[in-house]
Structure 1
């Protein structure tokens, strides 16, 4: 199975020869899946001359048990919460996210990573990591029943 996947990836290479230089375009992957809870109700923002975007935060948790690594260890359970900024640009999904995503909802977000910079209110350049959502799956019971 792994050999078939490797063969398929190799077949995705596209080669184009120009007159004086050679350009090789390779297929790559930028995919993210996050399963967690929404940290705030979404907001919709629109910058002049651009399409609107729905933005919300999402928390994912990592849990582990301290101890000697034994499966039956009775050590303390530790948890680390990571916050993610989710941006939804796709028109239909953007509107659904704005209307139905609510603080505390359990959702699955599929998308890609995006890195950018912005100027904060003190004119300090900051870096931001954002998940650009392509799909949202609602997992909370109250949303699925609507």
Structure 2
């Protein structure tokens, strides 16, 4: 059950509850890297792939269509102390993991001085599903 709160002030400011939650189940595309920008806390970053599969003609009684697959790549950032270090140490390329977190949109300027947009998943939980990682 979701509870929504509305607060009003003399300036008629209205605040309401909202949700920004993401769950991704997939495989890690690269070993994580840890970066630290001057004056900020370190962050662990890695990529993750999720796959969507479908069959052409799906839903028809005699469907014999081709199977297609689409891979989507996600940028995962881990800022949370403790989890950031665990992710850096144990997340490996090819690992099957579940990431829970929130979507974040931002902008940056690339090396050619071009403004780019970036979508990132800010992870607050990682569940290791690969057998070799659970045994460590």
Instruction: Give the C-alpha shift of residue 81 in structure 1.
Output: 0.2
Stretch of structure 1 that moved more, 67-76 or 80-89: 67-76
Stretch of structure 1 that moved more, 99-108 or 71-80: 71-80
Distance 1:68 1:140 in 2: 31
Structure 2 unaligned regions, length at least 5: 1-7
Match of 1:117 in 2: 107
What secondary structure, in the 3-state scheme, does the structure 2 residue paired with 1:110 have?
strand
* Deviation by residue 1:40-98 (Cα, 9 ceiling, x = unmatched): 00000000110000000000000000126325511100000000000000010000000
What secondary structure, in the 3-state scheme, does the structure 2 residue paired with 1:142 have?
helix
Match of 1:132 in 2: 122
Change (3 A) 1:43 1:67: same
What secondary structure, in the 3-state scheme, does the structure 2 residue paired with 1:30 have?
coil
Distance 2:34 2:72 in 1: 23
Structure having the higher helix fraction is: 1
Match of 2:37 in 1: 47
Structure 1 length normalisation: TM-score?
0.85
Distance 2:38 2:134 in 1: 35
Change (3 A) 1:76 1:100: same
* Deviation by residue 1:117-142 (Cα, 9 ceiling, x = unmatched): 00001000000000000000000000
Distance 2:80 2:58 in 1: 47
Change (3 A) 1:68 1:37: closer
Distance 1:30 1:43 in 2: 25
Structure 2 length normalisation: TM-score?
0.91
Instruction: Give the C-alpha shift of residue 22 in structure 1.
Output: 1.6
What secondary structure, in the 3-state scheme, does the structure 1 residue paired with 2:34 have?
strand
Larger Rg: 1
Runs of 4+ in 1 over 2 A off after TM superposition: 18-21
Change (3 A) 1:99 1:68: closer
Instruction: Give the C-alpha shift of residue 25 in structure 1.
Output: 0.8
Q: How many pairs are equivalent?
A: 129
